[in-house]
Amino acid sequence: MPHFLDLKDFTKPQLRMMLDSAATRKQARKTLHKGMEDKDLPLKGKAIALVFERPSTRTRFSFEMAIRQLGGEVFTVSGAEMQLGRGETIADTARVVSRYVDCVMLRAKAHETLLEFASAATIPVINGLTNRTHPTQVLADVLTLEERKGDIARSRVAWIGDGNNVCASWIEAVGVLGGSLKIGAPESLRPHKDFLNWATQNKADVEVMTSPEQAVAHADCVVTDAWVSMHDDDIENRHNLLKPYQVNAALMKHAAKDALFMHCLPAHRNEEVTDEIMDGPHSVVFDEAENRLHAQKAILLSCFGLK
């Protein structure tokens, strides 16, 4: 089944094809109003369900609009509204919904739920974020980086702060597409060893260090994320550990002069990033959010074997 579960499941040509398709579709919309359908409607006759076990703004809006603009049918449900919460198994749920719709995007609390759902489904399943990874986000991030800096394979990216789900998908992106990734994170919040081992096995240029200044040195792009993700509960501990990892003007001085600043959003202003950086000349965070829409189209089309 052509699922979109994680970036590491794809070859470089496959991810390059999705990035090209996203860029082409973005270009093609330049003359259209936001809500209008695209000129060709490759998803006509297809129905896609978006299932959320966690809240979402960007992922929900961008998938809904991507599907509408490509001519497909879409509806959104929260996991809590389904029988999942009353004990129906994940596998049975996947088998049932496979009889109604042509594709499911699932934002699952646990990565294992996503995998179980995907292995029982007879339709493509898209990972809309789990506790472990966030691949649809990072495909849009790479698109944003390449719009300004060219091929990621020639870029130096710095990840600052929590080695979380978005960081894990960055590791996989660099492992498949090339480029270098320096991760500045406190010892106890480094990415899970599975991702670091995968990076080593795949000869990815990924390094982890505790110093944020060292990680940012000469970077073309500095990326951070919230100190507390949706699945975290050790709020106070994380705030204490991550305070020295705030992306501010002093830290950005270590990066290349024209470095980009990225954040998947939602941002906690003046925690992981200052207003000055969020709203300053390095920041491309709103282009990054827009690019979710264009990247989702490429992901959906790849699930249906279309371009």
Give the torsion through C-alpha atoms of 284, 274, 246, 175, to 10 deg. -10
Establish whether 225 is a catalytic residue.
yes
Residues 257-286 that bind ligand NVA (CB under 6 A): 264
Q: Residues 69, 73, 77, CA angle at the centre, nearest 5°?
A: 115
Establish whether 107 is a catalytic residue.
yes
Interaction of residue 229 with ligand NVA, rule CB under 6 A? yes
CB-neighbour burial class of residue 207 (10 A; exposed 0-12, middle 13-18, buried 19+) = middle
Interacting partner of 57 out of ligand CP, ligand NVA, none (Cβ under 5 to 8 A depending on kind): ligand CP
Which residue among 58, 238, 282, 292 is the active-site one?
Answer: 292
Q: Show the binding pattern over residues 27-66: x = contacts ligand CP (CB under 6 A), - = does not.
A: -----------------------------xxxx-------
Structure tokens, 208 = 């982890």
Q: Map tokens 């759902």 to a residue.
A: 117
Cβ proximity to ligand CP, 58 vs 149, nearer residue: 58
**Which regions of the chain does DSSP assign to beta strands (E)?**
47-52, 73-78, 103-107, 125-127, 156-160, 180-184, 205-209, 221-224, 260-263
Cβ proximity to ligand CP, 225 vs 254, nearer residue: 225
Q: In whole angstroms, how close is the CB of 138 to ligand NVA at the nearest point?
A: 11
Cβ proximity to ligand NVA, 136 vs 155, nearer residue: 136
**Which regions of 188-255 does DSSP assign to beta strands (E)?**
205-209, 221-224
Side chain identity at 231, as an amino acid letter? Answer: H
CB-neighbour burial class of residue 33 (10 A; exposed 0-12, middle 13-18, buried 19+) = exposed
Q: Show the binding pattern over residues 146-185: x = contacts ligand NVA (CB under 6 A), - = does not.
A: ------------------xxx-------------------
Cβ proximity to ligand NVA, 141 vs 220, nearer residue: 141
> Hey, which residues are catalytic here?
107, 134, 137, 225, 264, 292
Binding positions for ligand CP, rule: CB under 6 A: 56-59, 129, 137, 264-265
